Amino acid sequence: MHESSSVMKWSVHRNEVNMLNKKSVDDINVKGKKVLVRCDFNVPLDADLNITDENRLVAALPTIKKLIADGGKVILCSHLGKPKGEPKPELSLAPVAKRLTELLGQEVKFAADANVVGENAKAAVAAMNDGDVILLENTRYRAEETKNGEAFSKELASLADVFVNDAFGTAHRAHCSNVGVAELVDTAVVGYLMQKEIDFLGNAVENPVRPFVAILGGAKVADKLNVISNLLEKCDTLIIGGGMAYTFLKAQGKEIGKSLVDDSKIDYCNEMMAKAEKLGKKLLLPVDAVVSADFPNPIDAPIEVENVSVDNIPVDKEAMDIGKETAALYADAVKTAKTVVWNGPMGVFENPTLAAGTIAVAKALADTDATTIIGGGDSAAAVNQLGFGDKMSHISTGGGASLEFLEGKELPGVAAANDK
């Protein structure tokens, strides 16, 4: 019941925000057409060029299979790493073509052109039958890719009748392979992965089922300035943890010892606390903290800690996690929520002793009936590493892109797709 009612609620509001109302692969028929699909195959490779984590490949399969089943000629493209315009062999997508062949159970022909759209690619596309799949070389082998240079966009567009963008991780960037090419083909739509990100992240911010609780963590206030400001307008309760909480506590006049602080943002924190009060929003900050004399080295080393009130942080100690009372307070705030968005860990979660706060929040999200959305990056890693991944409604695949969504910005990669 819970899920279907929220889906209904979304579809009613969907037309209000154009960015959330894009054509997807389900709105088009690609039979016999050449379809260029921008995927996110930016996977980690070991020294022997074996793929060490294939989550992104597996996540791309539903869109690819749909286009194959419809009888499209499927041309896949992606970047991998940062070759910065040079054809670096260790960043070739050849291993990806090999693994996709195994995952799909049909050949994915690799077009090994250093200039991406070269003789191999052109010949392979010309020889395609309906339902065939080819993979182009790393789009960032071309220096123009990240500058959205028109010549490369035109070359990519020359291969295709239809463009499908399924790479949310680069949606906040305007590059040739996700924005430039979309503007040059008649039909540009989003794939299933992109659609899911828009449905969950976009709607959570624009049309949330209330109460809407946002949880922000991470080390730096500076990274989250616009997110804090935008979410205060949209959410009912904003919870702040992680290293950035101590700049807020210092702004309240508290002694924070050696804890992380950004003195240039004290005024900003005061403005945000005033804004919350003016808008009648709850802004929750830590009431206690886990402190230690020194940062753990290496990061997962055993460490001696104590749990103290935020009114009693010793001058010579550093706070590195939210305390037990704070964890209980934050968990309690989540219990009655209907929508929860979480971005950023509560402490140094890479250390077993300092992961307790992050685990407590993850557990609270796992136990709630609310729609739970995890912004990409560190929070996604934390949730997966701690074993709560399958308990969340949605874990975003894009760190930077999900943050910009939460800031209320228009994402170029989404905006470039055709409106419904």
Q: Which residues contact 367 (CB under 8 A, 6 or more apart)?
A: none
Active site residues: 56, 220, 377, 400
Of 123, 103, 102, the C-alpha closest to 112 is 123
Of 322, 366, 329, the C-alpha closest to 348 is 322
The Cα angle at residue 151 between residues 27 and 74, in degrees rounded to 5: 35
Joined together, the tokens standing for residue 360 give 């407590």
What order do you get walking across the sheet with 108-111 strand by strand?
108-111, 133-136, 73-77, 34-38, 162-165, 187-190
Q: Report the DSSP pairing between strands 394-395 and 282-284.
A: unpaired
What CA–CA distance (Å, rounded) separates 83 from 218? 29
What CA–CA distance (Å, rounded) separates 382 from 363? 12
**How many other C-beta atoms are found inside a 10 Å radius of the C-beta of residue 143?**
13
Q: Please return the burial class of 385, using the count of CB atoms within 10 Å of its CB with bins 0-12, 13-18 and 19+.
A: middle
What CA–CA distance (Å, rounded) separates 361 from 386? 11
Please state the separation of Cα 73 from the chain's center in Å.
29
- The DSSP element (H or E) to which 364 belongs, if any, is helix 356-367
What CA–CA distance (Å, rounded) separates 164 from 202? 19
**How many other C-beta atoms are found inside a 10 Å radius of the C-beta of residue 351?**
21
